[in-house]
Structure 1
């Protein structure tokens, strides 16, 4: 199947789900979680089909800048939909569905910066999988932190919007944030460990910046989690540390890929 059709179908489904959820919020009503899950699940199927058609080749995998962004968005949405089965995080989908629509379209229409194939050795694929899931979980944490910031601001100003009125209590929102952070940090730890185990030289010329910045991000998240446990960090301080760690992590991965693929062409 040509990847254009599933890409467009996925984008339309993501957009439809966003429009439906936004409409329910403006009406100050709760969106049907089952309908959101249905639209999101079908969109993920087409998103996955598009990614497979674009990325998989007989000699290995192509994981350029826009494919990687689309793949991480796929993972983020999938993790959030799974989380929705147990915890009240469906409001995150209002931010994540547009991200999915944007990345799946860009992955198809934007020019590829590289044609380098990734070795399909199991250890390398495990490292890539752990990295993507870790980035996905920490991306969810960042979006959750932004919602916590918005909720805290509106509650302090006593002007809760329709969106905020559908949120769980602020304490629950912060607890969910740190649950995502703990899970993402553990996965990031496993990702770094698997990289050290299966990649011959993590500090090779094209991996040095990625490795160093990822380690810095790991330290930032570790300090944040220690501060939460030992000092009771919460609110704006926790959000600032979350954003700092996420920026380092995204700079490590997407910054290095952007420079390599579109500037250095390697």
Structure 2
């Protein structure tokens, strides 16, 4: 089954949904959450077909840099659309939808040959929980950026524009910490399952990923403790969130880039 037609539909729908959501945030067009979800859902289905075609192989899973990015992008969109039915998080689509489109372009244009063979059910569980944790925390990073923009607008006493479109700042911060809690719980499960199901997490090709993942866990644990005991919020919470997600990006994609494109490691 050719992946290109599905890729084109996914890219167009992602960009259309992201553009409309950004224009509605700028109050250039009316809010159309149903339309945005519909376009996002069409893109998600096509994106899912692409993920299946590019990751599943006769010799195992192709989990190179671009395939992993496409899988993460798909899951982030799926979580965003599902959560938007009960939480006001659809505004994160301003960044999430275009980034998902980029992952589709990358996996079609630069497919990786890195293969994971002989994957056990326990390792599948570790991989899925790791990707789910990163996906929740990636949405939290976008939410943090929106909180920062809203905080700056209120600080300058600008009551129009983005402030009128977004929920109240206290609600936005509450959503941010809810996303971080979900991501943190999944990250904890992923790290524990890694120690249980992976032969040696500190092997040469896994050590950097393990250390960076543990560092990210400590950053988010510190943020949640600071929020609970010291009342951290606003810019401080935004900074800690973005630093933690930045470390996770290095853990997930930085190590894959080094292994795949510098050392040409093939699992």
Scaled to the shorter chain, the TM-score interval is over 0.9
Alpha-carbon distance between aligned partners in 2 of 1:236 and 1:26, rounded to the nearest angstrom: 22
Kindly indicate whether the alpha-carbon contact (under 8 Å) linking 1:138 and 1:184 is maintained by their aligned counterparts in 2: yes
Distance 1:120 1:265, change over 3 A: same
**2:202 aligns to what SS in structure 1?**
coil
TM-score after normalising by structure 1? 0.95
Deviations 1:194-226 (A, max 9, x none): 111111111111101100110011011001100
Residue 245 of structure 1 corresponds to 244
Residue 257 of structure 2 corresponds to 258
Indicate the RMSD between aligned Cα atoms, in angstroms.
Answer: 1.4
Distance 1:105 1:160, change over 3 A: farther
Alpha-carbon distance between aligned partners in 1 of 2:41 and 2:236, rounded to the nearest angstrom: 35
* Number of aligned residue pairs: 265
Counterparts of 1:187-198 in structure 2, within 5 Å, are 187-198=186-197
Alpha-carbon distance between aligned partners in 2 of 1:187 and 1:25, rounded to the nearest angstrom: 31
| 2:110 is the alignment partner of 1:106 | no
Kindly indicate whether the alpha-carbon contact (under 8 Å) linking 2:65 and 2:260 is maintained by their aligned counterparts in 1: yes
Kindly indicate whether the alpha-carbon contact (under 8 Å) linking 1:154 and 1:160 is maintained by their aligned counterparts in 2: yes
Unaligned runs of 5+ in 2: none
**1:85 aligns to what SS in structure 2?**
coil
Residue 232 of structure 2 corresponds to 233
Moved more, 87-96 or 40-49: 87-96
TM-score after normalising by structure 2? 0.95
Counterparts of 1:108-257 in structure 2, within 5 Å, are 108-112=108-112, 114-160=113-159, 162-257=161-256
Deviations 1:227-264 (A, max 9, x none): 00011001111111111111111111111111000001
**2:201 aligns to what SS in structure 1?**
coil
Alpha-carbon distance between aligned partners in 1 of 2:106 and 2:133, rounded to the nearest angstrom: 22
Alpha-carbon offset, residue 95 of structure 1: 1.3
Alpha-carbon distance between aligned partners in 2 of 1:142 and 1:213, rounded to the nearest angstrom: 17
Residue 45 of structure 1 corresponds to 45
Distance 1:234 1:22, change over 3 A: closer
Alpha-carbon distance between aligned partners in 2 of 1:265 and 1:44, rounded to the nearest angstrom: 31
Alpha-carbon offset, residue 57 of structure 1: 0.7
Residue 87 of structure 1 corresponds to 87
Counterparts of 1:58-73 in structure 2, within 5 Å, are 58-73=58-73
Alpha-carbon distance between aligned partners in 2 of 1:58 and 1:18, rounded to the nearest angstrom: 35
Alpha-carbon distance between aligned partners in 2 of 1:225 and 1:176, rounded to the nearest angstrom: 13
Moved more, 81-90 or 154-163: 154-163
Distance 1:33 1:157, change over 3 A: same
**1:202 aligns to what SS in structure 2?**
coil
Distance 1:104 1:161, change over 3 A: farther
Kindly indicate whether the alpha-carbon contact (under 8 Å) linking 1:28 and 1:163 is maintained by their aligned counterparts in 2: no
Unaligned runs of 5+ in 1: none
Moved more, 51-60 or 135-144: 51-60
Residue 10 of structure 2 corresponds to 10
Alpha-carbon distance between aligned partners in 1 of 2:61 and 2:191, rounded to the nearest angstrom: 21
